[in-house]
Amino acid sequence: MQDTVQTLISNVAFLVAGVLFIMALRGLSSQETARRGNVYGIIGMLIAIAATLSMTGDRTQPVAFAAIGGGAVIGAVMAARVGMTSMPELVALLHSFVGLAAVLVGLSMQLAHKENALAHRIDVYIDVMIGAITTTGSILAFLKLRGSVSGKPMLLPARHLLNLSMLTGIVVLGALYGMDGETWALLAAAGIACVLGVHLVAAIGGADMPVVVSMLNSYSGWTAAAAGFMLDNDLLIITGALVGSSGAILSYIMCKAMNRSIFAVIFGGFGAAPPKADKSKPAPPAGDVQEMTADDLAEKLSTSKTVIIVPGYGMAVARAQHAVREMSQVLRDKGVDVKFAIHPVAGRLPGHMNVLLAEANVPYDIVLEMDEVNPDMPSTDVVIVIGANDIVNPAAEDDPTSPIAGMPVIQVWKAGLVIVNKRSRGAGYAGIDNPLFYKPVTKMLFGDAKDAIEKVVAALKAL
């Protein structure tokens, strides 16, 4: 009797937690409700943990409490310390923790119940495989985002064959494990899954990194759902499925934004050396770029009516968002209509630029999306591109052989004057030359984004 009541209570608690998670995701879909959404998520999680602890009762080991306390502190410190510019890395790293936890849970089940039936083994196996792929994939994504590993995609000659044979290996070992329930088969398969995770992410690079992070997010959800089947726990299933499907949708939305097939992204290869057509052509946009000084720019800006600022990863790297905000503020005080234009995949995370601008107190109602600003471009006096490259590359529209052909871009070249701030003359993250720099409407402002913009601000104030 006692047990039944206990089960009922924890089931109700799980249900409440599940609903709170749904409300959390729902809340996060608009600016007004986002903060409330996060609170719902926290409450849901606390309820879930409390309900689980009440289920396990006095069988819970004290060391588990220590793990919860320690984990909470470590997580809090990591979150509090991280700079807004290295947010993508942290998110990727956290994904790997979820994957790792799932692997460990599966392993623990295997070690504790070796004599399990086939049905149970299937659950364990799926949980561990997805978990392993998520773990190593996320770690590599973390290293790539941090810059410890080159962002260029690594393309082995027969990579699809390699993937296929690894997949076959996993299936074969799975069959072996299913028949005998041997731990070694599980571990060997997990090893292969780890390699597969690395290989999958290694093949993806360049502008596709945001999609990768979002895909890994989705994987971490599926692995939690698999754990739910294994442990016969509906809350895990619900939450895992929620996270898995929302992550998948998010990836899909981003792929659409880049006009790329999601399968092409998953199987990798983007951002590789451009097709040979590029070389046979006599390096088309070769020409001279025109430079402009900060003083000239300030003067030009102060006489403009409309200015659009297009930030990219370069702004994040130089931590220039505060200088940029100040520039926009000074201009707005002078009566200039300043807007920000954000490309859906600017930066290394979806929405990365919005987060940075928000950090610098830029009001979000002047931060617009690509589709909102493109029609206004011809009537815009000055566009300032700060550390962005591929997302303003006209080759995406003009040059069908370009690796980014067909990707919607911000059409800055239609404005009256385009100022491009760049550290150097190098190509963008995707390694593609940008004809924008050679257009007659374009002037370059070379230098670190922060220094350059601060100079402009000083010049503006001196005017």
Partner 1 sequence: MKLGIVKETRPLERRVAASPQVVAKWKKAGFDVAIERGAGEAASYPDAQYEAAGAVVVDRAEAWQADLVLKLRPPTVDGATCEADAMRDGATLVSYIFPAQDQALVDALAKKKLNVLAMDCVPRISRAQKMDALSSMANISGYRAVIEAANKFGSFFTGQFTAAGKVPPAKVLIIGAGVAGLAALGAAKGLGAIVRAFDVRAAAEEQVKSLGGEFLTITLKESGEGQGGYAKEMSKEFLDAEYALFRAQAKECDIVITTALIPGRPAPKLWLQDMVELMKPGSVVVDMAAEQGGNCEVTKPGETIVHHGVHVIGFTDLASRMAHVASDMYGTNLWHLLEEMGGAAHHKVDEANDAVRPALILSAGDKKWPPPKPPEPSPSAKPAVVAVAAPPAPAKPAAKPAPKKSHGHGPAAEPPSKASAVILSVLGLLGAIAFVYFRFGNGATDHPIEASSAKLFQHVAVFVMAVFIGFQVVWNVAPALHTPLMSVTNAISGIIVVGGLLAGADKLELPVWVAVAATLFATINIAGGFLVTRRMLAMFRK
Q: Which sequence positions are flagged as catalytic?
A: 390
Residue 386: strand, helix, or coil = strand
Cβ proximity to partner 1: between 70 and 287 the closer is 70
**CB 352, min distance to partner 1, A:** 6
Cβ proximity to partner 1: between 148 and 379 the closer is 379
Cβ proximity to partner 1: between 27 and 422 the closer is 27
Q: What is the CA radius of gyration of the chain?
A: 25
**CB 27, min distance to partner 1, A:** 9
Cβ proximity to partner 1: between 60 and 290 the closer is 60
Is 293:446 a contact under the CB 8 Å cutoff? no
Considering only CA atoms, which of 68, 137, 70 is closest in space to residue 100? 137
Q: Show the tokens assigned to 68.
A: 């919860």
DSSP, res 115? T
The Cα 212–Cα 265 span in angstroms is 8
The Cα 133–Cα 190 span in angstroms is 8
**CB 191, min distance to partner 1, A:** 17
Give the DSSP H/E element, type plus range, for residue 38. Answer: helix 34-56
Sign, CA dihedral 125-128-130-133, equals: negative
The Cα 122–Cα 99 span in angstroms is 18
Amino acid at 322: H
**CB 232, min distance to partner 1, A:** 5
**CB 298, min distance to partner 1, A:** 27
Residue written as token pair 């799980």: 14
**CB 34, min distance to partner 1, A:** 5
The Cα 46–Cα 40 span in angstroms is 10
Cβ proximity to partner 1: between 254 and 460 the closer is 254
Axis crossing angle, helix 2-27 with helix 234-257, rounded to the nearest 10: 10
Residue 420: strand, helix, or coil = strand
Cβ proximity to partner 1: between 161 and 264 the closer is 264
